[in-house]
Amino acid sequence: MSRIAFIFPGQGAQYCGMGQDFYEQTALGKEIYDTASGLLGFSVPELCFEKNDRLDITEYTQAAMVTTSIAMMRVLEAEKGVKPDVAAGLSLGEYCALAAAGVMSDEDAIRTVRERGILMQEAVPAGIGAMAAILALDAFTIEEVLSDMEGVQIANYNCPGQIVISGRKEQVEKANERLLAAGAKRAILLNVSGPFHSEMLTGAGEKLFEVLEGVSVSNPRIPYVSNVTAKYVTEGALVKDLLKKQVFSSVRWQQSVETMLADGVDTFIEIGPGKTLAGFMKKITRDVNVFNIEKLEDLDKLSVL
């Protein structure tokens, strides 16, 4: 019997048209998008399906991504009867994992990430912060290089050979030079609107905690993995503090996957736009089944389960 994890991508995977077939061809998918529109006060289908300049702006991206992934997940569960044993999500995707685990309602997840997106967008003036992807250099060496540098830190441990750093722009650029000298194959500045998952967003995390005080959370029905600790969370009382810290802490994605692997998870279903997490998985292990659900027709892939 397969042990199944639902995993959800984060910001950056969005594209115009994501989830459109779920909206147009399933009643449940349409209901979730329309509910999100009512909650947020703007048309989420228009945001996701029509060319516009908002989809890549953080305060809109986050709500669009979470609505889309949740719609895909609920249709998958309803039409195929597939249920997860555990859940995890990369950064923003952790809110979809919370919904999958029954920690937060779908509606609260969507509302909360809208506020999260606004707070993260406004946290640091444009041009002050930066992020960079460091390729083909091990985590230990990167940690060593950054250890005596202020204003820059690891934002994402994605997979072997791909780590993202974040912080003050000038410090990130200086770190890139040092990391290339230390053996990195490439150091690529990312086209992002802020230094996410760095200490520069500590204030945004504190403000998010105030938002979370008004959100109801429950004990997880299934364990989910926290980005901050890369460990299972099984108590609702821990959730809000972890989500606060997640905004300005490293996302330990590789370690999160390793936690699930050690628990016997052998089937990972990535639910949401793109195949980012499936790509990371290939570099972490090839000894598991990996499926991706981003089109309605992808549900047929799961007939083997």
Radius of gyration of the chain (CA): 18
Collapsed DSSP state (helix, strand, coil) of residue 132: strand
Set 91, 166, 226, 250: catalytic member? 91
Respond yes or no: is residue 105 known to be catalytic. Answer: no
**Residue 137, token pair as written in the block:** 């250099």
Report how far residue 295's alpha carbon sits from residue 301's, in angstroms, rounded to the nearest whole number: 11
Residue 91 appears among annotated catalytic residues: yes
φ/ψ of 134, rounded to 5, equals -105, 120
List b or e across 138-162, with b for residues whose CB sees 16 or more CB atoms inside 10 angstroms.
eeeebeebbeebebbbbbbbbbeeb
DSSP string, 158-208: EETTEEEEEEEHHHHHHHHHHHHHTT-SEEEE---SS-TTSGGGHHHHHHH
State the catalytic residue, choosing from 197, 198, 226, 249.
197
Active site members: 91, 197
